[in-house]
Structure 1
Amino acid sequence: MKRLVTILLFFGVLLCFSCKVKRIAGPAGVTTPVIQAAIAKQGAEDFQDVFKRVLENKQAQLSYPNAIRSFYQSKTFQPVLISHFMLQDQLQTLLSYFEAVSRHGLDPKLFAVTNIRKMRERLYVKKGLTLNVYQDVVELELQVASSLLKYSNALQFGLLNPAQIDSNYFTPTAQPDSILMLRVLEVKDLRGYLDSIQPKGKKYLALQAALRDEIQAPKKTLEETQQTLKVNLERLRWRNKPTEQKFVRINIPEFNLQVIEKGISVLQMKVCVGEKGKETPQLGSKIYSVQVNPVWNIPESIAKNEISKYAGRDKYYLANNNIHVFKQGKLIDDPESIDWARENVSSYSFKQQPGYRNSLGKIKFLFKNESSVYLHDTPVKAAFNQPMRAISHGCVRVEKPLLLALALFEKGKKYEQIKSAMQSGYPRAKYIGLPVSVPVFITYYTTDIDEKGRLLFYDDIYGLDKALYAKLQDN
């Protein structure tokens, strides 16, 4: 009986105050006695049982069901959000942010705006309230919680998890945890919180402005441009950005490498990246060492599909390109005698020795990653003059390797060793470790801004824009 009285008082006060709030006032004729009578007709069914039952039934429709269940369990299954938001007119504030989410390239339908409005109105009728007021209140409460969490996480972490979209994505990317989500549901100053989570980076704001102003990219329709802006806004929301003062950034569609120090680009150069089918992965790691005059351990796929075929057509190809052949770790003295068309190439290993013909050039930059890729020099410099530079087997070829080494090592003994070894007429492979590892990030942005804030667009060479946009639409 005591619990029933508490519930009656709660809804009487809640809706009595709600009628005094201009923007969300219910229809005329809603009075506290009518409310109390409607609740009383519901019977003695325990409010917590209704809450638990509705939560169980609606669980599959909620954005973060585990976090929501944990939160309401701590609140003894009471509608704490709408009791606070409706009395202070903050529910309308929340809806206004949801309705304006298109400025972030997102669809308001993602946050159930229409559904929330309908459920709120269902609490009011001209001649009183619905008899099923308990369930109506709980459904509104849960939808508000679900949409608030989805909006909060979308703006701070992105709507999608990039690792679930692209199997070639290996950049550490933070995801929202339950502790953060519980804090969101405890927010009291809703407008202040919603303003605080608006991304404020220059690139993000520039892309937002371009989306709002319907800027059209060269050689793209307006619709294609808008899609490009939307997917790149999503990428900018992902929590995968470097926090270090100094790092190397390669942007695949731009075919460009930059060394960034304290927010300023101190070095730029062209790069070649993986061709379609042999894509360079997106990743985050740390460059810890270089190998000057490197040995190229030729991957099995390249040995099988390319090297052995060249050797089959020209028996001196291996010797002319300084490639040694091994079987079970033992060097083959006369690989010219091998009939590569008949042999099982997989039982052999191939290593190209240091020299001017080496495909890795004079130096490679090493960092741990799951794809066995690295940055390296190349003897084929003409490729950097091509506008389309997706031509490698997955590793990144750099235009000015010695300048990159200088930017990483800075002037000193180790840099002079690198410079001398690269210029040597008698090249020998040598590892030289960085005094301090430097982060490297390989990214995929198809639009960016330059130093003057002008918008730049790049081709979607791997089709990742299309894949991401389709996922945003499905979501």
Structure 2
Amino acid sequence: MAFFLRGPSLISGLLAAVLLLPVADPLPAAESAPAGAFSQSVAVASAGDEAMAEFYRARGYAPLWTGVGERFRARRQALFDSLGRAALHGLPVARHDTAELLAQMRDARDIRDLGAVEVALSRAFLRYARDLQSGILVPRQVDSGLVREVTRPDPLVLLRGFATAESAAGFLAALAPATAEYRALMKARLDLETAIAAGGWGSGVPEGPTLRPGESGERVIALRNRLVAMGYMKRSASPTYDAALQEAVQRFQDRHGLAADGIAGPVTVTEVNVPMEQRLKSVLVALERERWLNMDRGERHILVNMTDFTTRIVDHGEVTFETRSVIGMNADGRRSPEFSDEMSHMVVNPTWYVPRSIVTQEYLPQLRRNPYAVSHLVITDSSGRQIDRRAVDFTQYTARNFPFSMREPPSQRNALGQVKFMFPNKYNIYLHDTPSKSLFNHDARAFSHGCIRLADPVDFAKALLAPQTDDPDGLFRSTLNTGRETRINIEPPVPVHLIYRTAFTDGRGSVDFRRDVYGRDARIWEALARAGVALPEVRG
């Protein structure tokens, strides 16, 4: 949209502003800029906004937007162009609507009005920059498990940076997360919106029994048509569940975190039938989540995607190690939180210090019935001394007054297995081994009390140690063979990010989808919708 200031009253106001505040490059120093109605208007309009008030004071109230000349025109043009593209980022259109700004500019009649326009443009710029750089929502206000600390841009830094930028359009374009994932999600959003406008994926597969290779019928045809529309196979008139359809089902299953057995059971059919609009919601939520994580993640970092039940080591943008994971079960107090921290060390042959919630809610009821229950655990007093179970009447205690702690010494059956990986945090979350290996055979793996269990913890440990020793296997094995609890520092510490993405890309631009295990993305979407984010068919 080409944008130019029109109207004699506004133009004359701009000319008057130039006479009052001569515009040069660089702008005049604060102490040399004359005071006047424009300065007073800007000062009044920016009152209560400390950063904006400081910005204009420091520049002697020289205009950022409302001067005459190519530089000012380019700034206004870049701002209005960017606001007009807000929907492309999944931002609320109404929140960044230009109609009110344009009306205010058209209605400006004097220098005081022009000062108000100046500040209004700066407010629109800061609102857009904040939303694009760090997201619309405050995570904690959406879900208690979203404990991620989002770094918000400093408004004074933004204003100063924009004022000195060689290219206003370039500065605004650079506000979005500069990650390949963000760019790929932007493309996925566009592709889905285009497909929705063209009619979507058509009808779904009717409910019924599991569909298997060799079968035929209307439901097989419906499955084939749906997968053709979704791009998982070429068009075919075959009514039979043949090899081509089986391969398409396997591809679909692989991209949706399901066992790729090529059999269309109830779970697979349910995922096939998810509407295109719901997938678009997942992508829009993922864009918001990517804005929350708009930070330096570390050239080497650990990425735990809860919905994918995987833990990865990423080096210079490439996944160098991957293992299956178990996350917290979907129950109050047990869902794994989302945050970032720094992994500082691992503990080989760890002792498990049982969390008090588990002690009182799970083990105390057993001890009331039998003081010798959970005999593999050591019960200790407040000084850490082991108590004699025979001397304690556990029936007299409740969860509120139970005075003891419990721990499990290092052993083959220890709940933490052979090793745990520590990034000390107030949520008491860490990564660890587990003796319960059968849990990793499930597609959905939400079984823990909140910590992240790893299917291949020993190999994970070696991968972490590889940059700091020539013999990571020897270092780990020799430490393990002592049987003693031992700390090994990770040098340098490695950032770890616990994320939750129901839509993410594979590095080649294709989008994978996962189920919303905790219902968090549904809550985020509801909050985005309340903020004004809308799907194409309801966008006004």
- TM-score range with shorter-chain normalisation? 0.7 to 0.9
Distance 1:412-1:117 versus aligned 2 partners, 3 A rule: same
8 Å Cα contact 2:462-2:472 kept in structure 1: no
What CA distance in whole angstroms lies between the structure 2 residues aligned with 1:382 and 1:300? 26
**C-alpha distance in 2 between matches for 1:49 and 1:260:** 53
Q: 2:424 maps to what in 1?
A: 368
Provide closer, same or farther for how the CA distance between residues 282 and 85 of structure 1 changes in structure 2, counting only shifts above 3 A: farther
Q: Judging changes above 3 Å, is the alpha-carbon distance between structure 1 residues 92 and 357 closer, same or farther for their aligned structure 2 residues?
A: same
Out of 161, 183, 197, the position equivalent to 1:183 is 161
Q: Aligned runs of 1:220-259 on 2, under 5 Å?
A: 220-259=274-313
Q: Which ranges of 4 or more aligned residues in structure 1 deviate by more than 6 Å?
A: 28-31
CA pair 328-50 structure 1, distance change in 2 beyond 3 A:
closer
8 Å CA contact 1:170–1:284 kept in 2: the answer is no
Aligned to 2:396, the other structure's residue is in SS state: coil
Q: Kindly indicate whether the alpha-carbon contact (under 8 Å) linking 1:85 and 1:91 is maintained by their aligned counterparts in 2.
A: no
Query: 2:80 corresponds to which residue?
Result: 95
Residue 435 of structure 1: CA displacement? 4.1
> Structure 2: how far apart are the matches of 1:297 and 1:210?
45
Query: Aligned with 1:428: secondary structure?
Result: coil
Q: State whether residues 10 and 106 of structure 2, in contact with CA within 8 Å, keep that contact through their aligned partners in structure 1.
A: no
Aligned-residue offset at 1:400: 0.4
Q: Return the letter of the residue paired with 1:248.
A: I
Q: In structure 1, what residue type is equivalent to 2:76?
A: L
- 2:3·2:80 contact (CA, 8 Å) conserved in 1? no
Cα distance 1:49–1:326, how it changes in 2: closer, same or farther (>3 A)? Answer: same
Instruction: Provide the residue aligned with 1:416 in structure 2.
Output: 474
Which of 61, 67, 79 is residue 77 of structure 1 equivalent to?
61
Listed as ranges, the matches of 1:306-455 within 5 Å are 306-319=362-375, 322-329=376-383, 331-335=385-389, 338-344=392-398, 346-410=402-466, 412=470, 415-420=473-478, 422=480, 424=481, 427-455=483-511
State the alpha-carbon separation in 2 of the partners of residues 23 and 418 from structure 1.
Answer: 64
Q: How do 1:150-189 residues align onto structure 2 when only pairs under 5 Å count?
A: 150-162=127-139, 165=142, 167-169=144-146, 171=148, 173-177=150-154, 178-187=156-165, 189=167
Q: Does 1:202 align with 2:260?
A: no
Contact 1:251 1:442 (C-alpha < 8 Å) held by counterparts: yes
Given that 1:293 and 1:354 are in contact with CA atoms closer than 8 Å, whether structure 2 keeps it comes out as: yes
1:432-475 CA distance string (max 9 Å, x none): 33343222221222211114332011222233323333443454
1:52 aligns with 2:43: yes
SS in structure 2 opposite 1:391? Answer: strand
Do the aligned residues in 2 keep the contact of 1:175 with 1:239 (CA within 8 Å)? no
Alignment-derived partner of residue 243 in structure 2 = none
Judge conservation of contact 1:171–1:240 (CA < 8 Å) in 2: no
Aligned length: 429
Secondary structure, in 3 states, of the residue corresponding to 1:53? Answer: helix
Q: Name the residue aligned to 1:281.
A: 337
Compute the TM-score of the two structures, normalised by the length of structure 1. 0.80
1:85-106 deviation line (CA, Å, top 9, x unaligned): 7863652442222112111001
| Higher alpha-carbon deviation: 216-225 or 370-379 | 216-225
Q: Which structure 2 segments of 5+ residues have no match?
A: 20-35, 201-270, 532-540
For 1:112-158, what per-residue CA distance to the aligned partner results, in whole angstroms no more than 9, with x for missing partners? 411111112224xxxxxx4xx23432222111111112222332333
Residues 25-44 of structure 1 aligned to structure 2 (within 5 Å)? 26=6
Alignment-mate amino acid for residue 357 of structure 1: R
Deviation string, structure 1 residues 236-278 (Cα, Å, up to 9, x no partner): 1235544433222111111100111222111111111112321
TM-score, structure 2 length as denominator? 0.71
* Matched AA of 1:355: S
Amino acid in the other structure paired with 2:93: P
- Residues 390/372 of structure 1: CA separation in 2 closer, same or farther (3 Å cut): same
Measured in 1, the distance between the counterparts of 2:133 and 2:191 equals: 24
| Superposed displacement of residue 297, structure 1 | 0.7
CA RMSD of aligned residues (A): 3.2
Distance 1:254 1:169 in 2: 17
Structural mapping, 1:91-170, within 5 Å: 91-123=76-108, 130=109, 133-162=110-139, 165=142, 167-169=144-146
Counterpart of 2:65 in 1: which secondary structure? helix
Change (3 A) 1:274 1:49: same
Code of the residue aligned with 1:154 in structure 2: it is D
| Distance across 1 between alignment mates of 2:73 and 2:510 | 42
Q: For 2:336, what is the secondary structure of its paired residue?
A: coil
**Matched-pair contact (CA < 8 Å) for 2:139–2:147:** no
Q: Percent identity?
A: 24
Residues 49-81 of structure 1: per-residue CA shift (max 9 Å, x gap) = 34433444xx5xxxxx22211122223334441
2: distance between equivalents of 1:31 and 1:303? 74
Residue 83 of structure 1 aligns to a residue whose secondary structure is coil
> Structure 1 residues 296, 470: closer, same or farther in 2, change over 3 A?
same
Distance 1:30 1:164 in 2: 42
Q: Matches of 1:90 and 1:431 in 2, distance apart?
A: 56
2:50 paired residue number: 66
Instruction: Note if 1:462 corresponds to 2:518.
Output: yes
CA distance in structure 2 between the partners assigned to 1:116 and 1:24 by the alignment: 13
Deviation at 1:402, TM superposition (A): 0.7
Q: State the alpha-carbon separation in 1 of the partners of residues 68 and 526 from structure 2.
A: 37
Partner of 1:270: 324
Report the CA distance between 1:362 and its aligned residue.
1.5
- 1:365 alignment partner, SS class: strand
Distance 2:103 2:9 in 1: 19
The CA distance in 2 between the partners of 1:270 and 1:192, in whole Å, is 41
